[in-house]
Structures are given as C-alpha cells and as structure tokens.
Amino acid sequence: MKKETISVRLLYRIGFYVIGLLFLAFGVAVASNSELGISPTNSLPFAISAACGIKVGTIIILEFSCYIIVQMILLRQFKPSYFIQLVFSTIFGYFVDFAKFVLGTFCLASYPGRLLMLAVSIVLVALGLVFYLSAELVPMPMEGMCLAINQKLPKAPFHRIKIFADCISVILAAIISLIFTGGLSVVREGTVISALFIGKTMGIFNKPLKPILHNICFGEEAAR
C-alpha cells in the first residue's frame, strides 16, 4: 500500500474516532439533562461535578488521567498510546462541556419525555462506540486500565473486570451524590437501562455500519 494511502486512511481513522467521541459526548449530555441517571462509565465524573461545581469536562480529563497513571503503574512502562489516550480524553472532556453548553437546561417535562431523551442518549452513545471502536486506534482510559488489569490477572476475563470497574464507579457516584447533593439524580433507573441497552443498540448499528467504516479505514481487503 502506498504511503499516501496509509496516511489518508490514518486521517479517516482519527476522524471517525473523534466523531465517535462527539456522539458519545452528546449522548452523555442528553442523559444528564433527562435526570434519569447517567451510564455507569460516566456516572462518577458527573457526581463529582455536581458535588464540587467544577465543569464535568474538567473532571473527566482528571479522572481519565488517573486511569492512565494506573496503567503505567500496573505495567511499569510508558507507552506512546498513553499520551494518545490523554489527548483523546482531553478532546472528549471538552466535547462534553460543549454538548452541555449546546443543550443548556433543555429537558422534556413529562416522565415519558425524559424516557424518550434517555432513548436518544442510548442511540447516540451506541453510535459513538461504533465509530470510535471501528477506528481501532487506542482504547479510552477506563478500558485501557481494565486491559492493564487483565494483563496482570489473565485468569480474570476482561468483561468481568469492566463490569467490576463500572460497578465501583456507580457505587462511588451514588455515595458522592447522596452525601453532597442529597439525592440520586446521577444514578437512577436510567443508569440500569443504559447498562442493559447500550450494548444491544450498538449491536444493531454495528452490523450495517462497521463493514463500511472498516472498509474506509483499512480498505476492502482488510474488511473481508
């Protein structure tokens, strides 16, 4: 493959990764405005943001930086991918703040309306995951940390480590939310619904979209 073609395909991969992060950010922001609960992965930064008043994007960047440090400690090495994770984490943090700014305080008043917002959030998050995973660049920091733990504990399956990490995030988010805000606006029924349906919705989009995105990123031969 020509060098120019490789460079163009790398740009496509970066572009799809960033588009995926933008979808994710708007999905998270819509879920936040629905006030029915945030997805497990993002519940902790929203709880901390509500508790201390710092922008949620800044909290996400700090939290994801901690995940990268854990990876470095566990694997006892610095990889260039850690820096790339930090760059994309920073972009994602700013995207979340941008999405929150665009949406403002918009929220449908009725409970069915809020459920509709949650459904829109699930669709956006699922699309974001399809785009950013199809690019096959680097994992987001939490997934990277789970992969590092998996390397140290190979007998523990990755999906169980991820579930455990999500559960810890939800528990901490619930505790922080109860102590500092007196409620559970961050961890509610929407958190459970998101955990159950994001993966299934992603599977629906994955079937038609992944071959197309993979073909653009890696060429027809790689897509077969």
Q: Mind listing the pLDDT tens digit for each residue in 145-175?
A: 998 999 998 888 888 888 888 889 989 999 9
Token readout for 69 is 């440090």
pLDDT at 185: 74
Collapsing DSSP states into helix, strand and coil, what is residue 68? helix
Name residues whose C-beta falls within 8 Å of residue 79's C-beta, 6 or more positions apart in sequence: none
pLDDT at 123: 95
Rg (the chain; Cα; Å): 18
> Could you report the per-residue pLDDT of 64-90, keeping only the tens digit for each?
999 999 999 998 888 888 888 999 999
For residue 141, give its domain range. 3-223
* Residue 184: band (very low, low, confident or very high) from pLDDT cuts 50, 70, 90: confident
Average pLDDT score over the chain = 88
pLDDT at 114: 94
* Residue 176: band (very low, low, confident or very high) from pLDDT cuts 50, 70, 90: very high
> Could you report the per-residue pLDDT of 51-70, keeping only the tens digit for each?
888 999 999 999 999 999 99
Owner of token pair 């606006």 = 185
Residues 136-149 as b or e (16 or more Cβ within 10 Å = b): ebbbbbbbbbbbbb
Give this prediction's pTM.
0.86
- Tally of domains within the chain: 1
